[in-house]
Structure 1
Amino acid sequence: MHTSILDTIGNTPIVRLQRLAPPGTELYVKLESRNPGGSVKDRMAVAAIEDAEQRGVLRPGQTVVEATSGNTGIALAMVCAAKGYPLVVVMAENFSIERRRLMRLLGARVVLTPAALKGSGMLAKARELAAHLDGFLVEQFDNPANARAHELGTAREILASFADGPLDCFVTGAGTGGTLRGVGAVLRKESPHTRIVVCEPDNAPVLASGRAQPQDGSSHPAFRPHLMQGWTPDFIPGLTAAAVAAGVIDHVQAVDGDEAIRVTRALAREEGILSGISGGAAVAGALHVCATLAPGSRVLVMLPDAADRYLSTALFEEIDDTMNDAELALSHATPLAHFGAAPAIDPSPATGVQLQPGDAAADAELGALLTDREQPVLLFGFAWCEYARAVRRLFAHLGVPYQAVILDAPDMQAGDRGGRLRRALARHLGKATIPQVFVGSQHIGGCNETFVAMADRSLLRKLAGAGVVVPEPSDDFDPTSLLPNWQQPTGAGQPMPAAKADTPRTIEA
């Protein structure tokens, strides 16, 4: 039993690959995605914050600020949520969208910088905001606590796992340089036989070039944009430079971006391991190194995170979210539950049945709801229904005050009140589908009808007629972007417009 989520950081598993490893080689991976925040950066985040607390440079309630490609931001958001610090993360706009959402889910504020300004641009912005907010800047690229977390944690876990025999090669990428510096220093001292390999993109050979980092704040001359998020910023971090100066690197292995994606997918399909692109890239580099090692060699690769951090990246660009032809054919190979077939059972309540005890009261309740002038906009829906949630997103975006009648709410289940109210609605409309929307007692329809009414602006006119006046949306507002992703028509799905606070008066009792 743990007193805090932060107590669960570390001691991540090491797994031997069964199908991707070359014959005669023991190839292992360390699954850093098993940390509670989902990446290796959890180690650095808690170490940096607790080090700052101990040194007295982070005050209670002070804002924490950091520049990150995403994983550090998520890790810091988790740590700051657990410890009660506000967090501002600065992130280049080209990093994956799901990382931004995870940070915001954890309570962080995320400030985006133009992709053209690269990593150095987001770092400069973080420094500027830290000064503006009188905040604590983590400085993960230079913070000694970053490397120390790996000296005291990651490296000790590795040595313990390979206590039964030699570890011939350790392979990692270089982002901040914390893992490389910390683990490399310990292995160089306590396992001098271990060869230490750092991987970097083949089109951005910052370390392999041997060229020093410019001191004028400009990008390293060997840097080019690449596919491995979290690896190789456009400058050589202080911790990486320290690792180079300490002589802990035996070999720099170049990795092609397309090969990194191919190996990442192979890890999933052949080993059942959901790695991020940087992990797949490290395994790709390790496979090249394995070809140079003696039979029986044992190799360990760091996998910094998992595939779910990359849903909006090139890793998933060939992964469908709808059925392909083969899957459709398989669906139609048996008679039940395929698209295009009439359902065997209609679960909707009948609309022409004899009234039951309590139905008259439900009819009266429905009538009162429909004629309530204080709240003329009504949404009848289920809590779980994606279509009802889409309507709610639309109303929130427009700033429409509305009353949500949630028919499956817990208190609606007492005496089957929700079911009776739904049957009353079905009798009133002559159909039983949910959700249903009313404006000023006038029936608009379900989700699709409501969105069509929004598209032709008739919804705005009906709202105005009921005394609900909302600002005209901008010309670039696409209502279909608020529909469930799988329901959006071709060409829809642009970034969701910023929604106003959704604070309906919800009937659940």
Structure 2
Amino acid sequence: MARYDSILETIGNTPLVRLDALAPAGVNLYVKVEAFNPMGSVKDRMALAVIEAAERSGELRPGQTVIEATSGNTGIGLAMVCARKGYPLVVTMAENFSVERRKLLRYLGARVVLTPAAEKGTGMLNKAIELAEAHGYYLCRQFENEANADAHVRTTAREILADFADEPLHAWVSGFGTGGTLKGVASVLKLASPATRIVVAEPDNAPMLGSGLGQPRDAAGELTASHPRFRPHLMQGWSPDFLSRLTEDAVAAGLIDEVLPVAGDEALRLTRELARREGIFAGTTSGATLAAALQVARRSPPGSNIVCMLPDTGERYLSTPLFEGIGEAMDDAELALSRSTPGYRFGAAAAGQPASPGVPLRADEQDAEAERLVETLLASEPVVMFALEWCEFCWSVRKFFARLGIAYHSVDLDSVAYQSDDLGGRIRPVLAARTGSVTIPQVFIGGEPMGGCTALFDAWRNGSLRRRLEAQGIAFDRSVEIDPDDLLPGWLHPRMTTA
């Protein structure tokens, strides 16, 4: 493993992996796994190139805010680059793109401005232009920025050619979105390997390239409307509602040999097959591109070498139809497997704990030092939660208190501060004796127990928690309307018991 001075130096040089289970016999079908880029997509290449080109030209000043319209991957790549280089980032994104993308962007420090789904890609682009003009932001313009295509001229295309230095490459298959990968790689392959066929895939219900119709633009070349053949499709980021300048350049230069339509359900099926039969975790656009590559492979002679682009990782798609039917709770078969042996299953006692959670430990099993500490905490702090750092129910209570503005003292029994002499473990039987329950968290208000997470939330719903807080003079935001169940762990299922 090499050493790097910056995460940005790890972009590119992604692997080519030959498919075994999915490829036709005798044909070498390779996938270029762009999820190996540091932020998990091919867009990392372009993000770095666009920012560094703007720095060199002086268009981007130190500390200036960067803005871009994106379905997610470009924004995530830009968020990484901007975080490392010290630029604030604003991203505009249509509201119908996956929640994971928004959260990743915000986690990396970007601000995300959503636009109406009905306005499609054009709407989020127009909003980015408005904000850039109003606030003096640097607009990346990924759909027409030559630095986008140049990144693939310098990196992606050269990597592919190097991998086939001693043997022919018969076909290269890609989707298109911004057009940067398409224009950059195809332009190099056409010069260095003229026999390589350039095959472009697109949604079968939105055949913008296949239709042969041009993109509506005004006299200045600006977009005036969506492409007439665009329809919403399942492949997020694969092709927006317009043909980008970079894509139009590739068409005009005659770089494309064939356009293949791909059905959305086939894209979903092959994305799942990639995971289950090849062990490759990729996004829906990868399955879509693979669908086109398989069409090429099936009609190719034995010994053919084909490269298919896999643009990103599957983690961007957890809330999309790609993961439909993938449950969070155990299904019947998994429950049956769990119950096939006696230990470590729901409803069984944990090792070292009473068989029934309502039975406290004996007084002689308690600890005088731990008892004094609990007494001191309850006497000095109006709201105390005995918690575990890893416990999701404890985090539900933390979020609840934060939403209501309730100040509290958290005693994290598994934290470093309570590990010495197993103090955290010694406190638990003291709590069990006071509350009659061995579960965590345990919340006390005014020194009196309120119970665990679900008991606290029930008390909020029936009004008793409000009355207790008011009686103790504990401040909270009375204007907040909250359903505490929304704060519970997402995996919670009626078959599982709570802690």
| TM-score, scaled to structure 1 | 0.92
Query: What is the deviation of 1:488?
Result: 5.8
Q: For residue 486 of structure 1, what is the aligned residue in structure 2?
A: 491
Select which of 385, 398, 401 maps to 1:395.
Answer: 401
Q: Secondary structure of 2:210's match?
A: coil
- The CA distance in 1 between the partners of 2:278 and 2:421, in whole Å, is 51
Does 1:52 find its partner at 2:57?
no
For 1:284-324, what per-residue CA distance to the aligned partner results, in whole angstroms no more than 9, with x for missing partners?
01111223322321110000001111000000002122222
Q: For residue 66 of structure 1, what is the aligned residue in structure 2?
A: 68
Query: What is the deviation of 1:344?
Result: 6.0
Query: What is the deviation of 1:337?
Result: 2.0
- The CA distance in 2 between the partners of 1:119 and 1:32, in whole Å, is 23
Q: For residue 292 of structure 1, what is the aligned residue in structure 2?
A: 299
Q: Secondary structure of 1:234's match?
A: coil
- The CA distance in 2 between the partners of 1:204 and 1:371, in whole Å, is 67
Query: What is the deviation of 1:345?
Result: 4.7
Select which of 84, 91, 95 maps to 2:97.
Answer: 95
Opposite residue 455 of structure 1, the aligned amino acid is R
For 1:79-136, what per-residue CA distance to the aligned partner results, in whole angstroms no more than 9, with x for missing partners?
1111111111111111111111111111111111111110000000111111222111
**Contact residue 69 and residue 93 of structure 2 kept, 8 A:** yes
Opposite residue 424 of structure 2, the aligned amino acid is G
Query: What is the deviation of 1:489?
Result: 6.1
Q: For residue 494 of structure 1, what is the aligned residue in structure 2?
A: none
**Contact residue 332 and residue 338 of structure 1 kept, 8 A:** yes
- The CA distance in 2 between the partners of 1:204 and 1:447, in whole Å, is 49
- The CA distance in 1 between the partners of 2:211 and 2:306, in whole Å, is 25
1:489/1:117 Cα in 2 relative to 1: closer, same or farther (>3 Å)? Answer: farther
Query: What is the deviation of 1:35?
Result: 0.3
**Contact residue 405 and residue 475 of structure 2 kept, 8 A:** no
- The CA distance in 2 between the partners of 1:206 and 1:77, in whole Å, is 30
Q: For residue 428 of structure 2, what is the aligned residue in structure 1?
A: 422
Q: For residue 446 of structure 2, what is the aligned residue in structure 1?
A: 440
Does 1:456 find its partner at 2:462?
yes
> What does 1:309-388 correspond to in 2, within 5 Å?
309-343=316-350, 345-346=352-353, 351-354=361-364, 359-372=367-380, 375-388=381-394
**Contact residue 481 and residue 488 of structure 1 kept, 8 A:** no
Query: What is the deviation of 1:202?
Result: 0.3
For 1:407-448, what per-residue CA distance to the aligned partner results, in whole angstroms no more than 9, with x for missing partners?
122122223333333333233324332110111222110111
Query: What is the deviation of 1:327?
Result: 1.8
**Contact residue 177 and residue 239 of structure 1 kept, 8 A:** yes
For 1:490-509, what per-residue CA distance to the aligned partner results, in whole angstroms no more than 9, with x for missing partners?
9xxxxxxxxxxxxxxxxxxx
- The CA distance in 2 between the partners of 1:489 and 1:86, in whole Å, is 43
**Contact residue 12 and residue 37 of structure 2 kept, 8 A:** yes
Select which of 215, 231, 246 maps to 2:253.
Answer: 246
**Contact residue 443 and residue 449 of structure 2 kept, 8 A:** yes
Query: What is the deviation of 1:68?
Result: 0.4
User: Is there any run of 5+ residues in structure 2 with no aligned partner, and where?
Assistant: 219-223
**Contact residue 176 and residue 240 of structure 1 kept, 8 A:** yes
Query: What is the deviation of 1:188?
Result: 0.5
Opposite residue 364 of structure 2, the aligned amino acid is Q
User: Higher mean Cα deviation, 172-181 or 442-451?
Assistant: 442-451
Query: What is the deviation of 1:251?
Result: 0.4
Opposite residue 30 of structure 2, the aligned amino acid is Y
User: Higher mean Cα deviation, 330-339 or 165-174?
Assistant: 330-339
**Contact residue 228 and residue 277 of structure 1 kept, 8 A:** yes
Query: What is the deviation of 1:474?
Result: 5.3
- The CA distance in 1 between the partners of 2:59 and 2:7, in whole Å, is 23
Opposite residue 301 of structure 2, the aligned amino acid is A
User: Is there any run of 5+ residues in structure 1 with no aligned partner, and where?
Assistant: 491-509
Opposite residue 307 of structure 2, the aligned amino acid is L
Count of residue pairs brought into register by the alignment: 485
Select which of 128, 141, 148 maps to 1:146.
Answer: 148
Q: Secondary structure of 1:371's match?
A: helix
Query: What is the deviation of 1:60?
Result: 0.9
1:404/1:73 Cα in 2 relative to 1: closer, same or farther (>3 Å)? Answer: same
Q: For residue 36 of structure 2, what is the aligned residue in structure 1?
A: 34
> What does 1:74-85 correspond to in 2, within 5 Å?
74-85=76-87
- The CA distance in 1 between the partners of 2:479 and 2:31, in whole Å, is 51
